[in-house]
Structure 1
Amino acid sequence: MSQFKHHDSATAGSVRAAVMMIAFGIAVLAFLVSIEHPEWFRLRPMTGAAVGMSHASDSVAGSEGDGHDTRNGNISE
């Protein structure tokens, strides 16, 4: 009986190693795909009201005359 238990343990270890290798491969693939698409991680407003508030705050900040144009990311001198 002990020889069968040893065989099952070796098979379980082999399956575990295969699953870990597949998971590692999927994780590496996901990482490589994600670094090709940085726009996926940019924070954007999700609702129409949030878009309106974002545009309103950008126009107010740009019109204060502090030299920063937040809409384009430029600093006017």
Structure 2
Amino acid sequence: MWTERDRPVRLFFREARWSVEGEPVAITEIPNHQYHPLITHPTPAFMGWRCVMGSEDLTTKLVLAVRREGTLWRAEEVPGEQ
């Protein structure tokens, strides 16, 4: 994934290059380690980006959720959205 100002701008997915269209949306979730009965107000944390992506030839669009896994990024298609 290529970034500018810490935001995704391009990535390689399914053996093709994709560009971010519009503004990516930050994904915030409650981390698993904060699910505990004694934690009454867990703090959501930044987990990745939700992006509308356009193919290099401009014929295809899809929505991806891109989440950090250690030092790598994992991209998953969000079904039913475009």
Q: TM-score, normalised by structure 1?
A: 0.19
Greater radius of gyration (CA): 1
Larger strand proportion of the pair: 2
Larger helix proportion of the pair: 1
Q: TM-score, normalised by structure 2?
A: 0.18
